[in-house]
Structure 1
């Protein structure tokens, strides 16, 4: 029996979300939240009742303290979230206006998270979990973060821990050529891959992502394709299962991919971990349902459901719970 179901790590940031539908350039009121792909996933899994640990680095500042408190309040273990006395916590500032693209600004250069190194990894924690989830974002922060990410994956894999990877490409962090190097370096250590259809073209232009990741050692590749749904490709069985979307009013698209990953992993942890068609369908349905609940609410984590809420939606699809 492991201490955790999922361990993940990365850069948690303080999010300043422009209030209402006001574009960022005109905003003078902001809602303050926690953001970051890995912390979003950790929150989603914790709300679904899983034992989750999150490690990384934040500044020894007010923003870092707020992040620590909010993650702990979600039931996430943050015992290995380090306070850096010299480097600051990363910030993310964005809007969510109606009828125009979302503007996102980062303040993450030279932050505490970028100072992560292989020597600082909590090895005992990484080997004491059922699954280690990583993203390319953390690896793209710095050379030491890349080395730490790869080392964590190796430690987990050698201990028999399942490793999942979402490239989660951010072109403001690195150009396409650099992303290709990063993901090629990481992919060989992951058995489960989550990738968007569009970002796959950045990593393996002209090459089917299922083939590309399969050649690098993946056993399951999940391809997310927006309104077209998703598909799970099992390299060992040759089985491909398609999943649809749950139509909902789009309020805020940010965080949908993290919610999808949380739903899929939760279903996998709950017992739908076999390579049957029924299990794959259950994983994709759960993932799509969680993602739909995320995009129906403002903010990166606001719409992530509790276990009771998710079960009610999956069981009945009811619009009103009385």
Structure 2
């Protein structure tokens, strides 16, 4: 049994890189809920914004590695504690102050109340001058592309940073938009940076100044689950450290490489002093 979840993975990644990170959400009031909070606290993530739900169970996800290259996923999330997230639960954590609010497209897929809570948080943070990061993170088993687009396209207007894989970009733009059209629309709407995750090909970053590509760091991949969240944590870490775009991207692909080179969603994420271990070193190196 492992803790997982896109927002948790990013929070742990940031904490391991030396940043203060807090997670706000709703968990079951039983051993599974305690397991979630205990794991987050053990990784240095603040859980004061978590709420225990006495009536709803923990959300579960089962991963089956069917072949070396194919993984099947089964969700048991309907009626979970997380699906009961509400706006009132986010008011206190957001009022406590933050430089950055990270959201994903998974939470608003869980319920109407969760969708309203995420929308409120993005609007409130944006009005307060807090940098809003939105990872599209579409999950086809949770909602359709049309339903996702209806919720996420308006949400993206409040984000400073939008992160998506190439096939997710039209979920924050008009249906059927190609990459250039979708990105141009986001930049016109006020998004400062659009990151396009390209897997083994690295990533592209679009700003009003143009586009920059960062190649992936070469490693032996053993588990790609959580790679996108690791990439996001690395990029946000670079943003919080004041790095320029090129160095933010380099940190992002480096942290992503750590994730795919180890088993687990977040277990292989690096500490700050470990970043040089694979950045610029050939695969198979031994540190002596």
Same-fold call, TM cutoff 0.5: yes
Q: Deviations over 1:61-111 (max 9, x none)?
A: 111100100100001000111110000111111023444410111111000
Distance 1:313 1:36 in 2: 25
Map Cα deviations across residues 8-30 of structure 1 (whole Å, 9 max, x no partner): xxxxxxxxxxxxxxxxxxxxxxx
Tell me the SS of whatever aligns to 1:164. Answer: strand
Q: Against the structure 1 CA distance between its residues 226 and 313, is the aligned structure 2 distance closer, same or farther, given a 3 Å change threshold?
A: closer
- Give the SS at the match of 1:195: strand
Instruction: Give the secondary structure class of the aligned counterpart of 2:287.
Output: coil
Superposed CA deviations along residues 118-151 of structure 1, whole A, max 9, x for unmatched, are 1222345356111001001001111111110010
**1:261 matched to which residue of 2?**
232
Which one of the candidate residues 262, 270, 278 is aligned to 2:241? 270
Which position in structure 2 is the counterpart of 1:231?
A: 204
Aligned length: 283
In 2, the alpha carbon distance for the partners of 1:269 and 1:203 equals 25
Q: Distance in 1 between matches of 2:24 and 2:67?
A: 35
Q: Does 1:182 align with 2:151?
A: yes
Query: TM-score, normalised on structure 2?
Result: 0.93
Correspondence for 2:213 among 210, 234, 242: 242
Distance 1:135 1:77 in 2: 19
Q: Could you tell me which runs of 5 or more consecutive residues in structure 2 were left unpaired when the two chains were aligned.
A: none
1:194 paired residue among 163, 178, 187: 163
* Native 8 Å contact 1:197 1:224 kept in 2: yes
SS in 1 for 2:124: helix
Q: CA offsets per residue over residues 30-81 of structure 1, 9 Å max, x none? A: xx11000000000100011100000100000111100100100001000111
Rounded Cα–Cα distance in structure 2 between residues aligned with 1:217 and 1:83: 36
- Report the 3-state secondary structure (helix = DSSP H, G, I; strand = E; otherwise coil) of the residue aligned with 2:55: coil
Unaligned runs of 5+ in 1: 1-31, 273-278
In 1, distance between residues paired with 2:70 and 2:77?
22
Contact 2:201 2:215 in 1 (8 A): yes
Q: What is the distance in 2 between the residues matched to 1:172 and 1:61?
A: 26
The one of 191, 194, 205 equivalent to 1:221 is 194
* CA–CA distance in structure 2, aligned partners of residues 120 and 127 of structure 1: 12
Match status 1:110 vs 2:74: no
Match of 1:91 in 2: 60
Give the alignment's TM-score, normalised by structure 1.
0.84
Q: Distance in 1 between matches of 2:13 and 2:189?
A: 28
What CA distance in whole angstroms lies between the structure 1 residues aligned with 2:162 and 2:96?
20
Matches within 5 A, 1:54-65: 54-65=23-34
Task: Name which of 244, 249, 266 aligns with 1:284.
Answer: 249
- Kept after mapping to 1: 8 A contact 2:187/2:207: no
Q: Return the alpha-carbon distance in structure 1 between the equivalents of residues 191 and 96 of structure 2.
A: 20
RMSD: 1.7
* Cα distance, 1:215–1:250 mapped onto 2, change above 3 Å: same
1:44·1:304 contact (CA, 8 Å) conserved in 2? Answer: yes
How far, CA to CA, are the matches of 1:248 and 1:120 in structure 2? 41
